[in-house]
Structure 1
Amino acid sequence: MGHKCWHLHLSLIISILLWNSAGAQQIKSITPNSGGINGGTRLTINGEGFAEVSQFGVNVDDPINGNNVTLVSRTRSIPCDVENDSSHSKQIVCYTRALPEDHYDVSVNGTPVTCLPYQSTYKTIYSYLLKTWKLKYMLYTSLQSGYGSTPTIQSLSPHSGLPGTVVTIRGNIYTDVYGSNAESQKPRFVRAYMGGMSCELLKPNSEEKSLPDLELFNVSSLNKLAMFQTYAEVTGVSPSEGSVLGGTSLTIQGRYFDKTNLPAVVLVGGQECQIQNVSDEKIVCLTPGYERTNMTVFPGSRGLRMEMWNNSDPIDLEDVLDYNASMSGYSVQWVDSLSYVFPAEMNNFVARLSGFFVPMETDNYYFLIKGDYRCMLYFSLTGLSQDKVRIAYHDNSTYSFYDYTSQKSEIMRLKKGKPYYIEVLVQEYYDEASVDVGFFKEISTFTYNQTKEAINEKQQINASYDVLPEKQVREHTEAL
């Protein structure tokens, strides 16, 4: 709770009226008096004598344009970003930046809010002023930031999808309406963003800048931290055949094609197709000449191919490597991630997930696997599916990557941009089945304070020194 400041409106003309001299700046109230630690709190300062004429200017950093608001604690001072079009001579509106948990007083244009300390020795004076001098304001004029006032994001589902995907975000939500008895008011979200772009709210419900749990951040293929990933959709390719010498004009139909982060790249048979034109719904390119290789499976679009065989109970899980589409109980679909939970009603089945892993950087990597029930991970350093070998596995259900030493692969040196073939086998008997594959790389620009996926490196530095006595030779000569 903030300090109580007492602002006096006196009915007699005495020397105290110097406080209210013409043009003097006064702060009467500040709302709200609590806010989140991640910023975004809309702070309204009411008073008199604030800047009004110079609200706008060519140079927005010019100190004479508008008001400057600073939040000051005992150990730090942090600017509050003023919203000029909502501010005038009797009101300032500003948005807080990230505020470490603390108590902050407000300073406007270098003038701090002053208030008498509320101590027992002043009770008689306050009581007298209430009756005699018509105390007009008894308001809180400070801000307390804390985690308890910070909205959080604790889960997000799904983690990826096409633009326009409905995303459900759950967490602790705080509004300026909770705790109010005004039935006519309804809680609301002011706005929501994904990747810096506005997200349409289907169920508006809150206000304040949220603080997401670090467990929600993952490293994307662009080597950036992300909570949600979007991608393009391919709906058709024409023609379906062309010359082995290349030069065929290939048209790819789809949605959400762009070159926002990187130039568009199309691969045909593992070779680059020369881009001719890119629009939101179409890419035209010239096919490369055919090069004979030993590859039987080529890297394609996003995701993995998941094949399943119901009512299958092999003694050796490796037998699933030879399963095919002609066997009973077969089905196939595409999944977007190697972190997958199967429908709870599915029991007594085996699954095979296959695809390619493309490293974002050249580095040392190792892989981990966990799931319910039995799981195996295969990897090909050549990129050829026929060269895959088992690198990690577990024979019992586990929800940790570190229960068994066999869950972790050996360290491998992988090259940036090269597709490596991977294959995962899963066997389930009953209950809810799942599989999760992760990898670890040695070098990263991210820290544990940015994402729980990162591990901070600790180095021990030993220093030693030798102490040697200084020796000096002095020569003295006397003049004869």
Structure 2
Amino acid sequence: VNYTSCTIQGPNNADFRPQCAITVDGNHMALTWSFCVVPTDAVIFYSTVSKNGYWRENSGSTEGATMLWIYGSRFEQNGFSTVPSTTNTNTVQLVSNYAVYDCEMHNDKVTNTQLTCYTPAMTPGVYQIRAYVNGNLIPLYQYSNPQRATFVPLVSQTPIITGISPQTGPPQTLISLSGNFQTACTSRDTNGCSMDGDPLISRVYMGGHLCNVINPVTNTYYSNITKNNLECSFEGNEIGIFNVSMLVTEQYGRSLISPNLYRVSAAGDLYTFQSYAVISSVSPNTGSLHGGTTLTINGEDFCNNAQYPVVVNVGGQPCTVLNASLTTIQCQTPVAPVNIASQYHGGRGLYIFRQSGAISQGTLAASSPPYPSVGATQTWSDDAMYVSQSSSDETVWLIGFLRIPQAANFTFILQTNGNGALFLSSNDSPANVIKIADVTHNQSNTELLQGNIDYYLLCVGSRIGGNLVLSVEARMHETTLTATTSSLVLNEIQSISVIATVVAEGQRIVYSTNTSSNGTSEVQSIQVGLSTFQIGFRGAYTALLTGQPTTDVVEAALNDLPTIYPLTVTVTATSTRYIITFPPEMGDVPLVTCISTSGNAPVINEIVQGVASNTAIAFSLNGMTTDYIDFTTNVTQANLTAEFNKL
């Protein structure tokens, strides 16, 4: 074995401290050893995703939150300190050929022999675990085996949620989740879940809120939990959009959401659940035309804080909020508007009107669309979709307002199994609607919508015999989302063809030997103060040298360098300098370099400029050099090919 750098595999080294061979025999076998001077002597034995698990247990979730256990020695122990340490620290990174990820430290479980951290969301692949102690990277030669300290995120190790029902509702809504959770365990008290290595569903989150699987009143599960189904109640009173996620312990982690569950908000954000407040009553329902009437609005989940203040409009005008709680809002009405509109934006989603009887396509697609009668039933919908449960003739309207945060181009698509037409206004007035799609041309032209402007939308469909299906899709052209994150996104695909004739580089080298010349050896001197140092030649550096090593030690270290071997240099010394003599085959060579801990810079000089003896040459390509080849002997094409292929 050739030892040219530090290792923890040397003899008589029960503590696995970094060592290096300081003398070798003629076959480059280590004879004597010395401990290396290194920034950190911490070592890593292996890693796993299970406490005290096997190193082959190294895979986890692609979505992050998999806990890694890294076992070794001489880590900094600061996890249980009451005062966080700024000097004793450990950090972990996960490194591939293409990316570097920080692994969030879990200091409560950190000791001098183990590190624990939570992985981030990562693309599938194999990642080397790299650890730092007090900011100093543990080099790979201080690993028992680097291949036993890796992490492999896999989709197969990732819990997945494929169903959420419902996807809208007030806070405290009972939500059903389906998918592959990898386990049905939620507690160590459950049969079959008591062992330390058994994975648990530790948390279900709706955004930053818990979704509780246990009914706090009855202290029982809302439903029987299996690997594929559970029910949980969305805690909290926040109104907004959220993403559901699940954390599963041990070799798993955070869940993945099936792309077809995502919805896209007007701001371009993906979400899987939307909560809303509920109004149960408003009183009084009459008041002064000049405003000033105090309205009391009763309901549930009226969130009111600095970030999301309550806003109330009456007749499209602000109603000044006097006070607000989760269940009651009081506001003072404005002056009645001069022009009373037939429609006001408010509520949530779209208004669905339904009435009996069918209407012809010609009437639906007229420039002035028909409107629902006074007797039509009314309900709200969170989606621009209606699916009939009736077998009778019917006509349905989807009516509401669109508002986007920034200007963007849209294409609208009408989908129906009956008659239908889609209308869009240039503003919030129904009087300005124009038809943009119908059953004969169900896709609109590109429509440029401005940001923060209300656009009135009306979609009407009708079918003889009932079972009407009616929906509107809006495709925003400018988006940073991709089809891998949401099935709603359609990626543009472009094909680029490059046609080129490949021509191999050909070089001809003519070398004329002059065996009558003995050449001149290059001689250089190097002066280094008392320190720990390394001598470099053409980018390769010796093992660490300490103090004033003997000429034999320096000579052996230099001759181990791949940029000198298989040729050899000789080293002599004066009282203050090392004299390095290169073989004449190498000719004029660059100056050696030196890295030293001394406060004084090393002094390096050329004493004699070398002249090649022309008995041996080496070839260099892109900074890499072949072995020296003796052209005074028979050189074959196979010899040269083998040397070039080593580059």
Q: 1:305 aligns with which of 320, 335, 351?
A: 351
Match of 2:128 in 1: 105
Which whole-Å CA distance do the structure 2 matches of 1:436 and 1:144 have between them?
43
Could you report, residue by residue, the CA deviation over 1:160-197 in whole angstroms, capped at 9, with x for unpaired residues?
221112223333433598xxxx9455753121222232
Residue identity in the other structure for 1:390: K
Task: Tell me, yes or no, if the aligned pair for 2:204 and 2:212 is still in contact at 8 Å.
Answer: yes
Match of 1:324 in 2: 373
Q: 2:320 aligns with which of 274, 294, 302?
A: 274
Which whole-Å CA distance do the structure 2 matches of 1:423 and 1:144 have between them?
51
Match of 1:435 in 2: 470
Match of 2:396 in 1: 351
Change (3 A) 1:99 1:337: closer
Match of 1:19 in 2: 16
Change (3 A) 1:77 1:355: closer
Residue identity in the other structure for 1:50: F
Match of 2:109 in 1: 86
SS at match of 2:319: strand
Structure 1 or 2, whichever has the larger Rg, is 2
Residue identity in the other structure for 2:462: Q
* 1:285 has 2:334 as partner: no
Q: 1:230 aligns with which of 261, 272, 275?
A: 275
Could you report, residue by residue, the CA deviation over 1:97-148 in whole angstroms, capped at 9, with x for unpaired residues?
1222222233333334734699xxxxxxxxxxxxxxxxxxxxx543222222
Task: Tell me, yes or no, if the aligned pair for 1:362 and 1:414 is still in contact at 8 Å.
Answer: yes
SS at match of 1:250: strand
Change (3 A) 1:56 1:75: farther
* 1:190 has 2:202 as partner: yes
Change (3 A) 1:322 1:227: closer
Shift of 1:84: 0.9
Task: Tell me, yes or no, if the aligned pair for 2:94 and 2:101 is still in contact at 8 Å.
Answer: yes
* 1:71 has 2:94 as partner: yes
Shift of 1:240: 0.9
Which whole-Å CA distance do the structure 1 matches of 2:78 and 2:328 have between them?
52
Match of 2:5 in 1: none
Match of 1:33 in 2: 58
SS at match of 2:104: strand
Could you report, residue by residue, the CA deviation over 1:224-257 in whole angstroms, capped at 9, with x for unpaired residues?
3322211221122121111111122222222222
Task: Tell me, yes or no, if the aligned pair for 1:54 and 1:65 is still in contact at 8 Å.
Answer: no
Shift of 1:95: 0.7
Q: 2:164 aligns with which of 156, 160, 176?
A: 156
Aligned residues: 408
Q: 1:114 aligns with which of 122, 133, 143?
A: 143
Match of 1:336 in 2: 382
Task: Tell me, yes or no, if the aligned pair for 1:232 and 1:255 is still in contact at 8 Å.
Answer: yes
- What TM-score do the two structures reach when normalised by structure 2? 0.55
SS at match of 2:16: helix
Task: Tell me, yes or no, if the aligned pair for 1:55 and 1:66 is still in contact at 8 Å.
Answer: no
SS at match of 1:192: strand
Task: Tell me, yes or no, if the aligned pair for 2:397 and 2:461 is still in contact at 8 Å.
Answer: yes
* 1:95 has 2:118 as partner: yes
Shift of 1:433: 4.0
Shift of 1:457: 7.8
Task: Tell me, yes or no, if the aligned pair for 2:44 and 2:144 is still in contact at 8 Å.
Answer: no
Match of 2:35 in 1: none
Could you report, residue by residue, the CA deviation over 1:242-284 in whole angstroms, capped at 9, with x for unpaired residues?
1111122222222222246543221111112222223222222
Q: 2:444 aligns with which of 409, 415, 419?
A: 409
Q: 1:425 aligns with which of 460, 469, 472?
A: 460
Match of 2:310 in 1: 264
Task: Tell me, yes or no, if the aligned pair for 2:44 and 2:143 is still in contact at 8 Å.
Answer: no
Which whole-Å CA distance do the structure 2 matches of 1:117 and 1:163 have between them?
49
Match of 2:413 in 1: 368
Which whole-Å CA distance do the structure 1 matches of 2:470 and 2:319 have between them?
35
Match of 1:130 in 2: none
Which whole-Å CA distance do the structure 1 matches of 2:425 and 2:272 have between them?
29
User: Which blocks of at least 5 consecutive residues in structure 2 are unaligned?
Assistant: 1-7, 19-40, 50-56, 186-190, 214-221, 228-246, 496-647
SS at match of 1:148: helix
Which whole-Å CA distance do the structure 1 matches of 2:97 and 2:410 have between them?
46
SS at match of 2:212: coil
